[in-house]
Amino acid sequence: MLSGDLAAAWEVALSDGVYTIEFAHGTTTGKRVVCVNGREVIRKDWMFKLVGKETFTVGGANTKATINIEAVSGFAYEYTLEIDGKSLQTFIDNRTKTTRTWLLKVEGEDCRVVLEKDTMEVWCNGQKMDTRGEFVDDGTETRFMMGEHECCIKAASSGTKKSGIVHYLLLDGEKIPASTQ
């Protein structure tokens, strides 16, 4: 994919999947190449200015991403990634608050289920799921199907103000532990 000029690589988890962003920087030619999941999205072969920014989109929702190229000293460069105008770490921290992710196996296949808490949208392996929400005695239930399997994301009060609402996923009635990504 990218040759010996690979300068930086990042993983970004969005609702529709985890994306690998790679950046190659030829510090003698000024060449810049950006690949998302192995697919080239930017190529500039000759750049006289070795510092600057490259902006592109990631994922099905065309989330804005920017790689900042800065000189640190002499011929050393620092590369930082911004997603949606925020540093990658701030973006990750915000997503931790606004989404909930579960990694599980269904019929031997790896599945990644993401709940967007603000919209209550549910994504499974990059596909937005058709869901049906209902209010129940202790909170809400968001139901959807994964193949022949019935899934339910339950939202209920944690009982403490600090924790707020807790979400958990049931696959055919079995509770699935949440993932950290």
Say which CATH number the domain at 109 has: 2.40.128.180
Q: In this structure, which long-range contacts are made by residues 125-130, counting pairs with CB atoms below 8 Å and at least 24 apart in sequence?
A: 125/17, 126/16, 126/17, 126/60, 127/16, 128/16
Tell whether 70 and 100 lie within a shared domain.
no
Tell whether 101 and 171 lie within a shared domain.
yes
pLDDT in tens for each of the 181 residues of the chain?
556 689 999 999 999 999 999 999 987 878 899 999 999 999 998 877 888 999 999 999 999 999 999 999 877 899 999 999 999 999 999 998 999 999 999 989 999 999 999 999 999 999 999 999 999 988 899 999 998 999 999 998 888 877 788 899 999 999 998 886 5
> Does 89 fall in a domain?
no
The number of folded domains in the chain is 2
| 3-state secondary structure at position 173 | coil
Instruction: Identify the domain containing residue 75 by its residue range.
Output: 6-84
